[in-house]
Homo-oligomer: A and B are copies of this chain.
Amino acid sequence: MAEKEKLTIVMFSGDLDRALAGFIVATTGASMGMDVTMFFTFWGLNIIKKNEGGIKSKGIMQKMLNLINRGGSRRLKMSKFNMLGLGTWMMKRLMKEVNMPSLDEFIIMAKQMGVKMVPCSTTCGVMGGLTEDAFRSEVASITGAAYFLGEARESKVTLFI
Contact = CB atoms under 8 A, between A and B. Distances in A.
A157 interface: yes
A24 interface: yes
A158 B25 CA distance: 13
A150 to B, nearest CB: 8
Instruction: Give the contact-size bracket for chain A.
Output: 35 or more
A100 B123 CA distance: 9
Copies in the complex: 3
**At the interface, is chain A mostly helix, strand, loop or mixed?**
helix
Contact of A21 (B41, B79, B100): B41
Interface in A1-25: 5, 7, 10, 12, 14, 17-18, 20-21, 24-25
Name the residue in A24, A68, A95 with the highest tally of chain B Cβ atoms < 10 Å from its Cβ.
Answer: A24
A95 B150 CA distance: 24
Contact of A80 (B43, B59, B122, B152): B43
Nearest to A80: B43
A108 interface: no
A90 interface: yes
Nearest to A160: B159
A84 to B, nearest CB: 14
B160 A28 contact: no
Identify the 10 closest CB pairs spanning chains A and B, nearest first: A98-B125, A159-B160, A28-B145, A153-B156, A152-B157, A94-B126, A157-B158, A17-B42, A24-B145, A28-B146
5 contacts: A32-B150, A61-B97, A64-B90, A91-B126, A157-B158
